[in-house]
Amino acid sequence: MSRHVSKHRVLRPAVCLGAAILVALVADPVRAQTAPAADHPPPDDTPSIKIGMTLFADYTFTQQPEQKDSDGNAVKFNAFNVTRSYINVAGNISHIVAFRITPDITREAGTGSSLNGSLAFRIKYAFAQFNLDDWMWKGSWARFGIQQTPLVDYIEGIYRYRFQGTIFPEREGYLSSSDAGASFRTLFPGNYGEIHVGIYNGENYNKPEANSQKAVQVRGTVRPLAMQPLLRGLRVNVFYDADNYVKNGPRRRGIFDVTFEHKHVNAGFDYMGTTDQPTVTKPAVDGAGWSVWVTPRTTKGFEALLRYDSFRPDTGADGRRKRTIAGIAYWFPHQGNVSAALLLDYEQLEFSSFVPEQPRQERIAVHGLVAF
């Protein structure tokens, strides 16, 4: 028997199949274009919007230094404060396009302003987010607008005590949690880490751009033991901020950070190096320091906060700032993405070998947090 197969016998089924597809398209073109595969349900493109809030409030008693009142009496300053009051408006236009707008209420402290001393409205976050899950690993996105910078918001999610005070790099005045710019984040497969990189004005969210210089910030995070149940919470982070005050006037921040998360304790260590040269007519100043913190907790909602910071703003001098924080907190039971806590803490700030000499600061405070 001949093994030769006619070309017409091969082509005829293909022609018939093509004709059938063409007929289906002509008969119902919309359905033919939009009908999903049977095993892949279509993504949810229903527009949605969510409203949330964040409130930080405290009562702070300053033990040292004493202050003078209007009659010259020595007094120990104390005050009730609201340090953060956010209204969070977030939502999705589709499964690809999302947004967030967060107004912030803050105390106006500008001299000469009719609003001096008043609570003023400003924007903390206002950005569009483009989710890239259709093309990259889940959790990848690009953002444009006033948004979180790569390091501060990420560490705050582990530290959890922003309502007591900012994390080490921000407390020393070298980073901000938000700035205007564009950024991109992508995750590594298997939950082994992520990369977040962005270009920003570099002047922080509360100031306009001052010149043509831009800040490039990048954070790389590695979770080396992601598959080990006991040590999966260990993460190593490297962060770098390359910016300039003016042309050839560097503003640099390099940070190495190790964090650990567990149901009974969170902990972290930070090392930061800085270089600042606001004008090329003066030499650059290098700074360096470190911070360590731990938050052991029970299953009943009680948690301790222990933290120590040490920083030399000029490594060419002996001056060093040393901060000690110790407190006890209670985190209220909750359901879902809600947080509520009370914290009683003591904070001490010492200025070692500064010229001129600066007085030691001591505060006792009660802090409250409500967020949903």
pLDDT tens per residue, range 38-67: 466 788 889 999 999 999 999 999 999 988
- Rounded to the nearest 10°, the torsion over CA 190, 191, 193, 199 is 100
- Which residues are bridge partners to 341 per DSSP? 331, 369
Burial of residue 90 (CB within 10 Å: 0-12, 13-18, 19+) is: middle
Cβ of 258: how many Cβ atoms within 10 Å?
14
Confidence of residue 237 (pLDDT cuts 50, 70, 90): very high
* Integer angstrom CA distances of residue 84 from 107, 162, 237, 247, 327: 10, 10, 27, 35, 20
Better-scored residue on pLDDT, 357 or 273: 273
pLDDT digits (tens, 9 = 90+) for 265-301: 999 999 999 999 999 999 999 999 999 999 999 999 9
* Contact between residue 287 and residue 251 where contact means Cβ atoms under 8 Å apart: no
- The predicted pLDDT at position 110 comes to 62
Confidence of residue 194 (pLDDT cuts 50, 70, 90): very high
- Which residues are bridge partners to 249 per DSSP? 246
Examine the pLDDT at 82 and tell me if it is beyond 70: yes
Structure-token match 């409205």, residue found = 121
Over the chain, what is the mean pLDDT? 88
Backbone φ, ψ for residue 167 (5° rounding): -70, 170
Structure-token match 């527009």, residue found = 47
Separation between Cα atoms, residue 105 and residue 124, nearest integer Å: 9
Examine the pLDDT at 339 and tell me if it is beyond 60: yes
- The predicted pLDDT at position 30 comes to 40
CATH number of 51-371: 2.40.160.10
Cβ of 160: how many Cβ atoms within 10 Å?
18
Would you say the pTM of this structure is higher than 0.95? no
Distance of CA 353 to the CA centre of its chain: 33
* Contact between residue 250 and residue 282 where contact means Cβ atoms under 8 Å apart: no
- The predicted pLDDT at position 371 comes to 94
* Contacts by 270-275, CB closer than 8 A, 24 or more apart: 270/155, 270/167, 270/168, 270/169, 272/168, 272/169, 272/172, 272/174, 272/311, 274/174, 274/313, 275/250, 275/251
Examine the pLDDT at 31 and tell me if it is beyond 70: no
Better-scored residue on pLDDT, 13 or 300: 300
Examine the pLDDT at 215 and tell me if it is beyond 70: yes
Mean pLDDT of 303-317: 97
